[in-house]
Amino acid sequence: MKTINFCFRVHQRPNLKRYRFFEIGNDHYYYDDYANESAIRYASDNCYLEANRILLDMIRSSNGNFKVSFSISGLALEQFEQYAPEVIDSFKELAKTGSVEFLATPYGHSLAALYNEDEFALQVNMQANKIKELFGKKPTTFANSALLYSDEIGNTIASLGYKNIIVEGAKHILGWKSPNYLYSHAYNNKIKLLVRNNKLSDDINYRFSNWSWDQYPLTAEKFIGWIKDAPEAENIFTVFMGYEALGILNHKDSGIFEFFKALPFYAIEQNIGFELPSEICKKNKPVDTLSALYPMSWTDEEKDVSAWCGNELQNEALTKLYNLTERVHLCSDPMIKVDWQLLQDTAHFFFMNTKHYSDGMIYAQKIPYESPYEAFTNYMNVLSDFIERVNAQYPTDIESEELNALLKTIRNQEELIKKLETKKKAAKK
Protein backbone atom coordinates (compact mmCIF):
# COMPACT_ATOMS: atom_id res chain seq x y z
CA MET A 1 0.00 0.00 0.00
CA LYS A 2 1.21 3.45 -0.86
CA THR A 3 1.44 5.94 1.95
CA ILE A 4 1.74 9.69 2.12
CA ASN A 5 3.91 11.21 4.80
CA PHE A 6 2.96 14.83 5.38
CA CYS A 7 5.48 16.93 7.32
CA PHE A 8 5.35 20.61 8.11
CA ARG A 9 8.13 22.88 9.27
CA VAL A 10 7.04 25.53 11.77
CA HIS A 11 9.44 28.37 12.33
CA GLN A 12 9.44 32.16 12.27
CA ARG A 13 12.74 33.97 11.96
CA PRO A 14 13.71 36.45 14.67
CA ASN A 15 13.90 39.96 13.20
CA LEU A 16 16.82 42.13 14.16
CA LYS A 17 16.17 45.80 14.69
CA ARG A 18 18.21 48.47 12.90
CA TYR A 19 21.38 48.38 14.94
CA ARG A 20 23.97 51.08 14.13
CA PHE A 21 27.62 50.72 14.98
CA PHE A 22 27.57 53.52 17.52
CA GLU A 23 25.20 51.41 19.58
CA ILE A 24 27.86 48.71 19.95
CA GLY A 25 28.71 48.51 23.62
CA ASN A 26 25.71 50.60 24.67
CA ASP A 27 22.65 48.70 23.60
CA HIS A 28 22.40 44.97 24.19
CA TYR A 29 18.91 44.39 22.88
CA TYR A 30 18.91 43.39 19.24
CA TYR A 31 15.38 42.55 18.21
CA ASP A 32 12.52 44.23 16.49
CA ASP A 33 9.76 43.19 18.86
CA TYR A 34 7.04 44.76 16.82
CA ALA A 35 8.04 42.87 13.68
CA ASN A 36 8.42 39.63 15.62
CA GLU A 37 5.10 39.90 17.33
CA SER A 38 3.20 40.91 14.23
CA ALA A 39 4.81 38.14 12.19
CA ILE A 40 3.80 35.55 14.77
CA ARG A 41 0.34 37.00 15.13
CA TYR A 42 -0.17 37.13 11.39
CA ALA A 43 1.07 33.59 10.90
CA SER A 44 -1.01 32.32 13.81
CA ASP A 45 -4.21 33.92 12.62
CA ASN A 46 -3.84 33.05 8.96
CA CYS A 47 -2.08 29.75 9.14
CA TYR A 48 -1.27 27.95 12.37
CA LEU A 49 -4.61 28.20 14.17
CA GLU A 50 -6.71 27.78 11.07
CA ALA A 51 -4.67 24.94 9.64
CA ASN A 52 -4.43 23.16 13.00
CA ARG A 53 -8.20 23.29 13.35
CA ILE A 54 -8.71 21.83 9.88
CA LEU A 55 -6.11 19.11 10.36
CA LEU A 56 -7.71 18.22 13.68
CA ASP A 57 -11.10 17.90 11.96
CA MET A 58 -9.57 15.74 9.29
CA ILE A 59 -7.94 13.45 11.83
CA ARG A 60 -11.16 13.11 13.80
CA SER A 61 -13.44 12.56 10.81
CA SER A 62 -11.06 9.93 9.40
CA ASN A 63 -10.86 8.10 12.74
CA GLY A 64 -7.20 8.89 13.07
CA ASN A 65 -6.30 7.56 9.65
CA PHE A 66 -5.12 10.95 8.44
CA LYS A 67 -1.72 11.61 9.93
CA VAL A 68 0.74 14.49 9.85
CA SER A 69 4.02 15.33 11.50
CA PHE A 70 5.49 18.65 12.53
CA SER A 71 8.99 19.91 12.90
CA ILE A 72 8.65 22.89 15.22
CA SER A 73 11.77 24.78 16.19
CA GLY A 74 12.32 25.54 19.86
CA LEU A 75 12.47 29.24 19.07
CA ALA A 76 9.06 29.06 17.43
CA LEU A 77 7.67 27.41 20.55
CA GLU A 78 9.21 30.17 22.67
CA GLN A 79 7.67 32.80 20.43
CA PHE A 80 4.27 31.12 20.68
CA GLU A 81 4.56 31.07 24.45
CA GLN A 82 5.29 34.76 24.36
CA TYR A 83 2.91 36.07 21.72
CA ALA A 84 0.33 33.40 20.86
CA PRO A 85 -0.03 30.75 23.57
CA GLU A 86 -3.24 29.47 21.99
CA VAL A 87 -1.17 28.01 19.17
CA ILE A 88 0.61 25.76 21.66
CA ASP A 89 -2.75 24.63 22.99
CA SER A 90 -3.95 23.76 19.54
CA PHE A 91 -0.78 21.74 18.88
CA LYS A 92 -1.33 19.97 22.21
CA GLU A 93 -4.79 19.06 21.10
CA LEU A 94 -3.39 17.64 17.87
CA ALA A 95 -0.84 15.70 19.90
CA LYS A 96 -3.61 14.09 21.93
CA THR A 97 -5.15 12.45 18.85
CA GLY A 98 -2.11 10.18 18.51
CA SER A 99 -2.08 10.76 14.76
CA VAL A 100 0.53 13.45 15.00
CA GLU A 101 4.28 13.10 15.36
CA PHE A 102 6.67 15.83 16.43
CA LEU A 103 10.07 15.65 14.83
CA ALA A 104 13.43 16.42 16.33
CA THR A 105 15.23 19.42 14.92
CA PRO A 106 17.82 21.89 16.23
CA TYR A 107 16.42 24.30 18.81
CA GLY A 108 17.12 27.38 16.72
CA HIS A 109 16.71 27.12 12.99
CA SER A 110 20.49 27.08 12.77
CA LEU A 111 23.41 25.91 10.69
CA ALA A 112 25.08 24.37 13.73
CA ALA A 113 25.17 21.00 11.96
CA LEU A 114 27.68 22.47 9.51
CA TYR A 115 29.78 24.44 11.93
CA ASN A 116 29.93 22.97 15.38
CA GLU A 117 29.07 19.48 16.46
CA ASP A 118 28.86 20.29 20.17
CA GLU A 119 26.49 23.14 19.58
CA PHE A 120 24.43 20.99 17.27
CA ALA A 121 24.11 18.23 19.86
CA LEU A 122 23.20 20.75 22.50
CA GLN A 123 20.47 22.27 20.35
CA VAL A 124 19.00 18.92 19.39
CA ASN A 125 18.77 17.87 23.02
CA MET A 126 17.27 21.18 24.08
CA GLN A 127 14.66 20.81 21.38
CA ALA A 128 13.80 17.23 22.31
CA ASN A 129 13.35 18.23 25.94
CA LYS A 130 11.12 21.12 25.00
CA ILE A 131 8.94 18.86 22.84
CA LYS A 132 8.75 16.29 25.64
CA GLU A 133 7.80 18.97 28.13
CA LEU A 134 5.00 20.38 25.95
CA PHE A 135 3.65 17.36 24.09
CA GLY A 136 4.65 14.55 26.38
CA LYS A 137 6.69 12.49 23.95
CA LYS A 138 10.32 12.48 22.94
CA PRO A 139 10.78 12.71 19.18
CA THR A 140 12.31 9.77 17.36
CA THR A 141 12.63 11.07 13.82
CA PHE A 142 15.00 13.82 12.86
CA ALA A 143 14.59 16.62 10.31
CA ASN A 144 17.39 19.15 10.28
CA SER A 145 16.99 22.88 9.66
CA ALA A 146 16.34 23.21 5.91
CA LEU A 147 16.90 19.42 5.79
CA LEU A 148 20.67 19.89 5.95
CA TYR A 149 22.27 16.51 5.52
CA SER A 150 25.51 14.80 4.60
CA ASP A 151 26.96 11.41 5.53
CA GLU A 152 28.85 13.07 8.32
CA ILE A 153 25.84 14.94 9.68
CA GLY A 154 23.90 11.68 9.44
CA ASN A 155 26.45 10.02 11.69
CA THR A 156 26.28 12.84 14.22
CA ILE A 157 22.51 12.64 14.30
CA ALA A 158 22.67 8.89 14.85
CA SER A 159 25.07 9.38 17.73
CA LEU A 160 22.43 11.59 19.33
CA GLY A 161 20.02 8.67 19.24
CA TYR A 162 17.98 9.29 16.10
CA LYS A 163 17.93 6.48 13.56
CA ASN A 164 15.29 7.96 11.25
CA ILE A 165 16.18 11.06 9.27
CA ILE A 166 14.26 13.01 6.69
CA VAL A 167 16.47 14.28 3.86
CA GLU A 168 16.00 16.27 0.68
CA GLY A 169 15.51 14.39 -2.57
CA ALA A 170 18.29 16.28 -4.32
CA LYS A 171 18.88 15.18 -7.90
CA HIS A 172 22.65 15.05 -7.55
CA ILE A 173 22.32 12.61 -4.65
CA LEU A 174 19.52 10.44 -5.97
CA GLY A 175 20.67 10.25 -9.57
CA TRP A 176 18.32 7.80 -11.27
CA LYS A 177 16.84 6.63 -7.98
CA SER A 178 13.30 7.53 -6.98
CA PRO A 179 12.67 9.47 -3.78
CA ASN A 180 9.64 7.29 -3.04
CA TYR A 181 11.47 4.54 -1.18
CA LEU A 182 13.14 4.14 2.17
CA TYR A 183 16.92 4.39 1.97
CA SER A 184 19.74 3.99 4.43
CA HIS A 185 22.88 5.91 5.33
CA ALA A 186 25.93 5.41 3.11
CA TYR A 187 27.81 3.16 5.54
CA ASN A 188 25.65 2.84 8.62
CA ASN A 189 22.69 0.73 7.59
CA LYS A 190 20.93 1.27 10.93
CA ILE A 191 20.16 4.83 9.89
CA LYS A 192 17.06 5.06 7.75
CA LEU A 193 16.51 7.94 5.37
CA LEU A 194 13.12 9.22 4.32
CA VAL A 195 13.49 11.25 1.15
CA ARG A 196 11.45 14.36 0.50
CA ASN A 197 9.64 14.31 -2.81
CA ASN A 198 10.40 17.86 -3.85
CA LYS A 199 8.20 17.78 -6.92
CA LEU A 200 5.02 16.97 -5.00
CA SER A 201 6.04 19.26 -2.12
CA ASP A 202 6.66 22.25 -4.38
CA ASP A 203 3.48 21.56 -6.32
CA ILE A 204 1.56 22.42 -3.19
CA ASN A 205 3.96 24.91 -1.68
CA TYR A 206 4.92 27.11 -4.63
CA ARG A 207 2.68 26.16 -7.52
CA PHE A 208 -0.73 25.71 -5.93
CA SER A 209 -1.66 29.37 -6.48
CA ASN A 210 0.42 29.88 -9.60
CA TRP A 211 -1.96 30.59 -12.43
CA SER A 212 0.68 30.24 -15.10
CA TRP A 213 1.50 26.67 -14.08
CA ASP A 214 0.31 24.24 -16.75
CA GLN A 215 -1.27 21.97 -14.14
CA TYR A 216 -3.22 24.79 -12.50
CA PRO A 217 -5.61 24.31 -10.76
CA LEU A 218 -4.31 21.54 -8.55
CA THR A 219 -7.13 19.42 -7.17
CA ALA A 220 -7.01 16.68 -4.57
CA GLU A 221 -8.13 14.22 -7.21
CA LYS A 222 -5.26 15.17 -9.51
CA PHE A 223 -2.72 15.09 -6.69
CA ILE A 224 -3.78 11.65 -5.50
CA GLY A 225 -3.93 10.56 -9.14
CA TRP A 226 -0.23 11.33 -9.57
CA ILE A 227 0.61 9.21 -6.57
CA LYS A 228 -1.61 6.39 -7.78
CA ASP A 229 0.01 6.48 -11.22
CA ALA A 230 3.49 6.11 -9.78
CA PRO A 231 5.03 2.60 -10.23
CA GLU A 232 3.50 0.06 -7.89
CA ALA A 233 6.68 -0.57 -5.91
CA GLU A 234 7.14 3.09 -5.01
CA ASN A 235 5.33 3.27 -1.73
CA ILE A 236 6.49 6.24 0.36
CA PHE A 237 5.67 9.79 -0.61
CA THR A 238 7.21 12.29 1.74
CA VAL A 239 5.69 15.73 1.28
CA PHE A 240 7.55 18.23 3.41
CA MET A 241 7.10 22.00 3.38
CA GLY A 242 6.83 25.08 5.51
CA TYR A 243 3.52 25.18 7.36
CA GLU A 244 2.99 28.64 5.84
CA ALA A 245 2.00 26.89 2.61
CA LEU A 246 -1.41 26.61 4.22
CA GLY A 247 -2.93 30.06 4.41
CA ILE A 248 0.03 32.37 3.81
CA LEU A 249 2.01 31.27 0.77
CA ASN A 250 -1.27 30.02 -0.59
CA HIS A 251 -4.01 32.31 0.60
CA LYS A 252 -7.14 30.92 2.19
CA ASP A 253 -9.10 32.05 -0.88
CA SER A 254 -6.92 29.95 -3.16
CA GLY A 255 -8.78 26.91 -1.86
CA ILE A 256 -5.77 25.36 -0.16
CA PHE A 257 -7.74 24.29 2.90
CA GLU A 258 -10.46 22.68 0.78
CA PHE A 259 -7.73 20.91 -1.14
CA PHE A 260 -6.40 19.39 2.08
CA LYS A 261 -9.84 18.51 3.37
CA ALA A 262 -10.55 16.56 0.18
CA LEU A 263 -7.27 14.64 0.20
CA PRO A 264 -8.25 11.77 2.57
CA PHE A 265 -11.39 10.95 0.60
CA TYR A 266 -9.59 10.51 -2.70
CA ALA A 267 -6.74 8.74 -0.95
CA ILE A 268 -9.04 6.16 0.63
CA GLU A 269 -10.73 5.68 -2.71
CA GLN A 270 -7.40 4.80 -4.31
CA ASN A 271 -6.28 2.74 -1.33
CA ILE A 272 -3.56 5.18 -0.37
CA GLY A 273 -2.86 5.69 3.31
CA PHE A 274 -1.22 8.26 5.58
CA GLU A 275 1.55 7.33 7.94
CA LEU A 276 3.93 8.95 10.37
CA PRO A 277 7.68 8.90 9.68
CA SER A 278 8.44 6.66 12.64
CA GLU A 279 5.80 4.13 11.52
CA ILE A 280 7.15 4.07 7.99
CA CYS A 281 10.67 3.47 9.21
CA LYS A 282 9.51 0.67 11.48
CA LYS A 283 7.50 -1.11 8.78
CA ASN A 284 9.83 -0.79 5.80
CA LYS A 285 13.29 -2.00 4.99
CA PRO A 286 15.70 0.28 3.16
CA VAL A 287 16.03 -0.65 -0.50
CA ASP A 288 19.42 0.95 -1.02
CA THR A 289 21.94 3.40 0.42
CA LEU A 290 22.23 7.10 -0.28
CA SER A 291 25.54 8.86 -0.04
CA ALA A 292 25.96 12.62 0.32
CA LEU A 293 29.61 13.60 0.59
CA TYR A 294 28.81 17.30 0.70
CA PRO A 295 26.02 18.91 2.69
CA MET A 296 22.74 19.34 0.88
CA SER A 297 19.53 21.15 1.75
CA TRP A 298 16.08 21.83 0.39
CA THR A 299 16.93 25.33 -0.81
CA ASP A 300 17.26 26.69 -4.33
CA GLU A 301 17.76 24.82 -7.56
CA GLU A 302 21.18 23.58 -6.43
CA LYS A 303 19.91 21.98 -3.20
CA ASP A 304 23.18 22.86 -1.52
CA VAL A 305 24.23 25.18 1.30
CA SER A 306 25.22 28.14 -0.88
CA ALA A 307 22.15 30.10 0.14
CA TRP A 308 23.69 30.58 3.61
CA CYS A 309 27.39 30.09 3.20
CA GLY A 310 28.09 30.79 -0.44
CA ASN A 311 29.83 34.15 -0.32
CA GLU A 312 32.44 35.97 1.62
CA LEU A 313 29.99 38.02 3.67
CA GLN A 314 28.23 34.94 4.92
CA ASN A 315 31.42 33.06 5.65
CA GLU A 316 32.83 35.95 7.62
CA ALA A 317 29.70 36.28 9.73
CA LEU A 318 29.37 32.54 10.33
CA THR A 319 33.03 32.07 11.22
CA LYS A 320 32.97 34.96 13.67
CA LEU A 321 29.77 33.60 15.18
CA TYR A 322 30.82 29.98 15.60
CA ASN A 323 34.28 30.94 16.85
CA LEU A 324 32.40 31.94 19.98
CA THR A 325 30.87 28.53 20.60
CA GLU A 326 33.24 27.32 23.32
CA ARG A 327 33.13 30.58 25.21
CA VAL A 328 29.37 30.76 25.09
CA HIS A 329 29.15 27.20 26.37
CA LEU A 330 31.30 28.23 29.33
CA CYS A 331 29.13 31.27 30.06
CA SER A 332 26.37 31.06 32.59
CA ASP A 333 24.63 34.35 31.76
CA PRO A 334 21.12 33.39 30.59
CA MET A 335 20.76 36.45 28.34
CA ILE A 336 23.86 35.45 26.41
CA LYS A 337 22.44 31.97 25.92
CA VAL A 338 19.20 33.37 24.56
CA ASP A 339 20.90 35.78 22.16
CA TRP A 340 23.22 33.00 21.09
CA GLN A 341 20.27 30.95 19.86
CA LEU A 342 18.60 33.85 18.14
CA LEU A 343 21.74 34.99 16.35
CA GLN A 344 22.22 31.57 14.77
CA ASP A 345 19.04 31.69 12.74
CA THR A 346 19.59 30.76 9.09
CA ALA A 347 17.59 33.78 7.94
CA HIS A 348 20.33 36.21 9.00
CA PHE A 349 22.72 34.57 6.57
CA PHE A 350 20.16 34.01 3.88
CA PHE A 351 19.67 37.77 3.66
CA MET A 352 23.37 38.21 2.91
CA ASN A 353 23.01 36.07 -0.19
CA THR A 354 24.28 37.82 -3.32
CA LYS A 355 23.52 34.88 -5.59
CA HIS A 356 20.19 36.12 -6.83
CA TYR A 357 20.58 39.69 -5.79
CA SER A 358 21.05 41.05 -9.29
CA ASP A 359 18.37 39.07 -11.08
CA GLY A 360 15.51 40.25 -8.89
CA MET A 361 14.35 36.78 -7.85
CA ILE A 362 11.30 36.64 -5.63
CA TYR A 363 11.51 34.62 -2.46
CA ALA A 364 8.86 32.96 -0.40
CA GLN A 365 9.71 35.27 2.45
CA LYS A 366 9.93 38.99 2.15
CA ILE A 367 13.46 40.24 2.71
CA PRO A 368 13.54 43.08 5.22
CA TYR A 369 16.83 44.49 3.90
CA GLU A 370 17.45 46.49 0.78
CA SER A 371 20.66 44.69 -0.05
CA PRO A 372 22.86 41.86 1.20
CA TYR A 373 25.30 44.53 2.30
CA GLU A 374 22.73 46.12 4.55
CA ALA A 375 21.91 42.74 6.05
CA PHE A 376 25.59 42.05 6.67
CA THR A 377 26.27 45.46 8.21
CA ASN A 378 23.38 45.20 10.58
CA TYR A 379 24.17 41.65 11.60
CA MET A 380 27.85 42.32 12.12
CA ASN A 381 27.11 45.32 14.31
CA VAL A 382 24.92 43.15 16.48
CA LEU A 383 27.47 40.36 16.49
CA SER A 384 30.27 42.78 17.43
CA ASP A 385 28.32 43.81 20.49
CA PHE A 386 27.58 40.19 21.31
CA ILE A 387 31.26 39.27 20.98
CA GLU A 388 32.17 42.07 23.36
CA ARG A 389 29.66 40.79 25.87
CA VAL A 390 30.95 37.24 25.66
CA ASN A 391 34.53 38.41 25.97
CA ALA A 392 33.61 40.58 28.93
CA GLN A 393 32.64 37.42 30.80
CA TYR A 394 36.15 36.06 30.70
CA PRO A 395 39.42 37.72 29.71
CA THR A 396 40.27 37.01 26.08
CA ASP A 397 43.94 36.35 26.69
CA ILE A 398 43.21 33.05 28.41
CA GLU A 399 42.78 30.07 26.11
CA SER A 400 39.41 28.38 26.29
CA GLU A 401 40.89 25.10 27.49
CA GLU A 402 42.82 26.75 30.26
CA LEU A 403 39.73 28.69 31.20
CA ASN A 404 37.72 25.52 31.35
CA ALA A 405 40.17 24.02 33.82
CA LEU A 406 40.14 27.14 35.98
CA LEU A 407 36.36 27.22 36.01
CA LYS A 408 36.27 23.59 37.03
CA THR A 409 38.62 24.28 39.94
CA ILE A 410 36.42 27.13 41.09
CA ARG A 411 33.30 25.00 40.90
CA ASN A 412 34.97 22.15 42.74
CA GLN A 413 36.08 24.55 45.39
CA GLU A 414 32.57 25.87 45.79
CA GLU A 415 31.25 22.38 46.22
CA LEU A 416 33.94 21.57 48.72
CA ILE A 417 33.19 24.69 50.73
CA LYS A 418 29.52 23.82 50.77
CA LYS A 419 30.25 20.31 51.91
CA LEU A 420 32.55 21.48 54.65
CA GLU A 421 30.05 24.07 55.79
CA THR A 422 27.30 21.50 56.11
CA LYS A 423 29.72 19.29 58.01
CA LYS A 424 30.57 22.23 60.26
CA LYS A 425 26.92 22.84 60.94
CA ALA A 426 26.32 19.20 61.67
CA ALA A 427 29.31 19.14 64.00
CA LYS A 428 28.04 22.18 65.88
CA LYS A 429 24.73 20.52 66.48
Q: How far is the CB of 314 from another protein (least distance, A)?
A: 8
Strands (E), 182-256: 182-185, 192-196, 236-242
| Candidate ranges 9-17, 38-46, 122-130, 371-379; the one touching another protein (CB under 8 A) | 371-379
Q: Any contact of residue 363 with another protein (CB under 8 A)?
A: no
| Candidate ranges 190-198, 244-252, 267-275, 367-375; the one touching another protein (CB under 8 A) | 367-375
Helix (H) or strand (E) holding 205: helix 198-205
11 touches 76 (CB < 8 A): yes
**Cross-strand partners of 185:** 290
Q: How far is the CB of 150 from another protein (least distance, A)?
A: 25
- 38 vs 371, which CB is nearer to another protein? 371
Q: How far is the CB of 343 from another protein (least distance, A)?
A: 16
Q: How far is the CB of 22 from another protein (least distance, A)?
A: 5
Q: How far is the CB of 380 from another protein (least distance, A)?
A: 5
Read off the amino acid at residue 353.
N
Please state, as a whole number, how many other Cβ atoms lie within 10 Å of the Cβ of residue 148.
26
Which of 358, 362, 395, 428 forms a contact with another protein (CB under 8 A)? 358
Q: Any contact of residue 380 with another protein (CB under 8 A)?
A: yes
Subset of residues 35 to 54 that bind another protein, contact rule: CB under 8 A: none
Burial classification of residue 384, based on how many CB atoms lie within 10 Å of its CB (0-12 exposed, 13-18 middle, 19 or more buried): middle
80 touches 40 (CB < 8 A): yes
Q: Any contact of residue 22 with another protein (CB under 8 A)?
A: yes
Cα-flanking dihedrals φ and ψ of residue 84, to 5°?
-145, 70
185 touches 191 (CB < 8 A): yes
- Sign, CA dihedral 142-146-149-152, equals negative
Residue 51's SS3 state is helix
Subset of residues 57 to 86 that bind another protein, contact rule: CB under 8 A: none
CA separation for the pair 126, 34 (Å, rounded): 27
Q: How far is the CB of 109 from another protein (least distance, A)?
A: 23
Q: Any contact of residue 343 with another protein (CB under 8 A)?
A: no
Residue 167's SS3 state is strand
x/- track of binding to another protein for residues 287-326 (CB under 8 A): ------------------------xxx-xxx---------
Which of 62, 65, 365, 377 forms a contact with another protein (CB under 8 A)? 377
Binding site for another protein (CB under 8 A): 20-22, 311-313, 315-317, 354, 357-358, 370-374, 376-377, 380-381, 384
